[in-house]
Chain A
Amino acid sequence: MVRHLYVHLPFCASRCGYCAFVVEVGALEMRDAYLDGLCRELAAERSRLGELETVYLGGGTPTLMRPGRIARLLDAIRPSIADGAEISIEANPETVDRAAFDALRAAGVTRVSIGAQSFQPELLSALERGASADQVRRAVACATDAGFASVSIDLLFGIPGQTWRQLEADMAEVRALGVDHISWYELEIKPGTALARMGAEVPDEDWAADAYEMIVARLEDYGYRWYETANFARPGHECRHSIGYWSADDYLGIGVGAVSTVDGVRWRNSTALAAYLGEVTRAGTPGRTMESLDAGTRRRERWMLGLRLDQPLDIAWAGPPDHPEVIARLEAGGLLTTAAGRVSLTRRGRFVQNAVLHELMEYA
């Protein structure tokens, strides 16, 4: 039975320069119809749901649904939600205020993840973000005051044009805010995004490595645990929903473009809003592209995901690597450590996970 539920809420005011997600710009008049669609898909999938330990409302800009619709959505899910469940929502700073956060709290949300990305006006505009640095600070303050169990912010580094000084300035802001959880990603320039069309380039490996190492060292210094490749938390504030992904747990995703993985089958829902709505209305479930995961693929995914975490990976659970003989060499080279049938990457190893994975496994 599935214990993690993801709900995709695609509406956005505009598309950001780096965004390649399934989003729906404008079309706010569709929100009620979409909520109905979600409820239909949920009803159709109800039998797969066990006691939900986590629910994650992602987007898009979920907060554009306004608290009233979020409350109705969570009401619909509630019969499956376990006591003490983590219920997260992503929030864009320019779409929330204290009242909105209070309402979300009242609707049952326990964790809010605020998309800051940066506090530097030039970089926010390079990313085509809708919020100003002040709005970000205010949103974090409101969320903290509203009393959520955890408040997280998202940040980016490696933004085209970003200087070391700007990175340091973002770090100082993060330190001052003192949130419970931080996700700090290296910007990827994905095909089809505005940044890609502009021919933006990522910084070279050495700059990016310096930045990444600095981020890890400082945040650890400030009392955060580097519990996943790009995620940092004060003890007890790790995102349980995400840990589910990295532990290769099954999860159900509902909504347009949402992905599910259940019993070795992965599927993605229709990615166009109109198609999704038409299909759930007609059939209860949307159109889906299916991918069947064989044993080898699942084993390679468990390694790919599991090594992202700082917690050791249990080899017996994950299944043996394709090249067990290289473990000793990697260990001698200071990239990983083994103990009692468990393997974990060293600090250096975590920065070069892909290269380590290619030594251990045959991704082909």
Chain B
Amino acid sequence: MPQDLIRNFCIIAHIDHGKSTLADRILQLTGAVTDRDMREQILDSMDLERERGITIKAQAVRVFYTAADGKTYQLNLIDTPGHVDFSYEVSRSLAACEGALLVVDASQGIEAQTLANTYMAIEGDLELIPVLNKIDLPAADPELHGGAVAELIGVDPGSVLRISAKTGEGVREVLEAIVARIPPPHGDPSAPPRALIFDSVYDQYRGVVAFVRVFDGEFAKGDRLVAMQTGREVIAEEVGVMSPTMLPTGRLSAGESGYLVTGLKSVGDLKVGDTLTLSRHPAPEALAGYREVKPMVFCGLFPLDADDYPDLRDALEKLSLNDASLVWEPETSQALGFGFRCGFLGLLHMDIVRERLEREYNLELLATTPNVEYQLTTTSGEELAVRSPVDLPPPTNIESIREPYVRCTVLVPGDGVGAVMQLCQERRGHYVTMMPIEQRQQIVYDLPLAEIVTDFFDQLKSRTRGYASLDYELAGYRESPLVKLDILLAGDPVDALSMIVHKDLAYGRGKALVDRLRETIPRQLFEVPIQAAVGGRIVARETIKARRKDVLAKCYGGDISRKRKLLERQKEGKKRMKRVGSVEVPQEAFLSVLTLGSNPDSSRTRK
């Protein structure tokens, strides 16, 4: 197809602002899916995504649309992940497009993530088509939000489309705008072929399937390809497009988007952002923008039942086939036994992986408190990367420690500004700037990532009654006076409860943590002192009282079986605890640090 009849575009939208519904309508209107086949939100293929209402993996769908000018266009809709953890994947999806629909809920307005992705699209020179969705809602305020969107991207408010993806109203106008406003691709069909990998998935029957945007030249079935960053060679076993399911076409030409089946065994071999070219006719230069994706958040995953360790390894191996950003290595904890230290793109990514391990692989896991990667220089001049508090050398051997910072953008109504700023200050934030957007304030802070990976987002939501939205991007490493806070149960340090904290916060965090542990750990046969220590100095102490009464009140001939079964049930309850030394610790205790910022539930009583 001539390039002037091709349009590559994506949809930028906040969660729940209607991206998937609009995508569905486009598929229906162009006849790519019959009404009978219509499955709600067809682009979100994983159950987990469906449940969370978000899209993790990007895909590309090709539809044909006969426009008002009588010509039939090939439209490639490239889906984008909707969460900050996957911002690099978003950037590669954007790089595959010439334009984007900026979809904003007409009753809610712009949110922080939309803002971040919009800036990214503007930077990438994409043509943006502003779309106000949900105009059928009673709370819709198209004047206000339409004006703000127009101002944000510097267009005439009259060019903002008003639609309801739910009812279908205005969707045809969206298609016309795509054809009219988004420029066609203009690659060089005769140049050495180059294609951008913007997503790759592992299919157990076909191997790795790469989703690509062809910029120059042409790729055909049977071609021998090379990934220019990794140097990996691969045969294109099949070439095709999603329509919306896999449809082999034999070739993909300059300007088009589609998929390549490779037979490779791991998505790590074809990384998002890499450039594919032909082995026998290689391009001299890769497409710009490739980045090695690095995990930002780490935690230990331990099987609750030590016998499940090999199963956990198998499960991680299988997940890794389809998730190049998941990293893991064996870890041994004195408290928790054998497990793995895993690295994730962010908290959501961590939650998703954990949930998939538990759900799809039927594993019961204990996760330790998440932390970030610290860089440190030892007194002997050695540079170390520390991903677990356990690996932190003694203070006397440390010259300096650096921790990752992020630049956080929070959008909040005016009356929430105080709460947001207070939270950011509590979390060691550095104020950067503040400016009004629509009727809200955009607050920018630089914060240590470590302060975000605990309960920052929950706190932000609860302190602003749900009105604040958050986006962040990495902002380099900064030196901080950090110390290791150890927790001792019954006098013995519990490695899985150690954390790295700013030295000025060590006392407060230590006190809050021992308080929380006293709440979480049930009374035991013997009294259990809980201590928080920094460098051998105790900074906080609490005591779990010993049990004073634990008896079966009455036990006669008719009761014996029932009482024995009661003991058996008690034992079942104990199995869900982890025995650390002589102390039985419930799983949630290992996540106590996560909730330090919130108030303990004082109404809870222990039996």
Name the B residues within 8 Å of A242 (CB-CB): 556
Name the A residues within 8 Å of B567 (CB-CB): 304, 354, 357-358, 363
Beta-carbon contacts under 8 Å, B75-104 to A: none
Interface flags for A243-278 (1: CB within 8 Å of B; 0: not) read 001100001010001111100001010000000000
Any chain B CB within 8 A of the CB of A346? no
Nearest A residue (CB) for B569? A363
Name the B residues within 8 Å of A362 (CB-CB): 571
Interface flags for A25-58 (1: CB within 8 Å of B; 0: not) read 0000000000000000000000000000000000
> A205-B548, A335-B525, A363-B567 in contact; A266/B555 too (CB < 8 A)?
no
> A297-B564, A363-B570 in contact; A229/B523 too (CB < 8 A)?
no
Partner of B561 from A257, A291, A351, A356 at Cβ < 8 Å: A291
> A266-B560, A352-B549 in contact; A245/B523 too (CB < 8 A)?
no
Most chain A CB atoms below 10 A, which of B526, B560, B605: B560
Partner of B570 from A202, A260, A333, A358 at Cβ < 8 Å: A358
- Nearest-Cβ distance from residue B360 to partner chain A, whole angstroms: 28
> A353-B552, A363-B567, A363-B571 in contact; A266/B561 too (CB < 8 A)?
yes
Any chain A CB within 8 A of the CB of B478? no
Any chain A CB within 8 A of the CB of B568? yes
Interface flags for B545-579 (1: CB within 8 Å of A; 0: not) read 00111111111111011011001101110100000
Any chain A CB within 8 A of the CB of B606? yes
Contact B571 A304 (CB under 8 A): no
Contact B550 A229 (CB under 8 A): no
Nearest A residue (CB) for B574? A358
Any chain B CB within 8 A of the CB of A339? no
Contact A205 B606 (CB under 8 A): yes
Name the B residues within 8 Å of A206 (CB-CB): 548
Name the A residues within 8 Å of B550 (CB-CB): 351-355
Q: A202–B570 Cα gap in the complex (Å)? A: 18
Q: A69–B547 Cα gap in the complex (Å)? A: 48
Beta-carbon contacts under 8 Å, A342-360 to B: 350-359
Contact B568 A253 (CB under 8 A): no
Q: A351–B523 Cα gap in the complex (Å)? A: 14
- Nearest-Cβ distance from residue B567 to partner chain A, whole angstroms: 4
Name the B residues within 8 Å of A253 (CB-CB): 557-558
Q: A157–B524 Cα gap in the complex (Å)? A: 24
Nearest B residue (CB) for A361? B567
> A304-B564, A353-B552 in contact; A205/B571 too (CB < 8 A)?
no
Any chain B CB within 8 A of the CB of A364? yes
Any chain A CB within 8 A of the CB of B607? yes
Nearest A residue (CB) for B582? A329
Q: A213–B548 Cα gap in the complex (Å)? A: 9
Contact A230 B557 (CB under 8 A): no
Any chain B CB within 8 A of the CB of A185? yes
Q: Which residues of B are at the interface with A, using a C-beta cutoff of 8 A?
A: 523-526, 547-558, 560-561, 563-564, 567-568, 570-572, 574, 582, 605-607
The 9 tightest CB contacts between A and B, nearest first, are A209-B548, A363-B567, A209-B549, A186-B553, A259-B558, A354-B550, A355-B525, A352-B550, A355-B550
Taking A204-B605, A257-B558, A268-B558 as known contacts, 7 extra A-B pairs with beta carbons closer than 8 A to each other, sorted by chain A number, are A188-B553, A206-B548, A230-B554, A266-B560, A351-B548, A363-B567, A363-B571
A-B contact pairs, 15 of them (CB 8 A): A205-B547, A209-B548, A209-B549, A229-B552, A229-B555, A259-B561, A261-B557, A304-B560, A304-B567, A308-B555, A350-B551, A352-B550, A358-B570, A362-B571, A363-B567
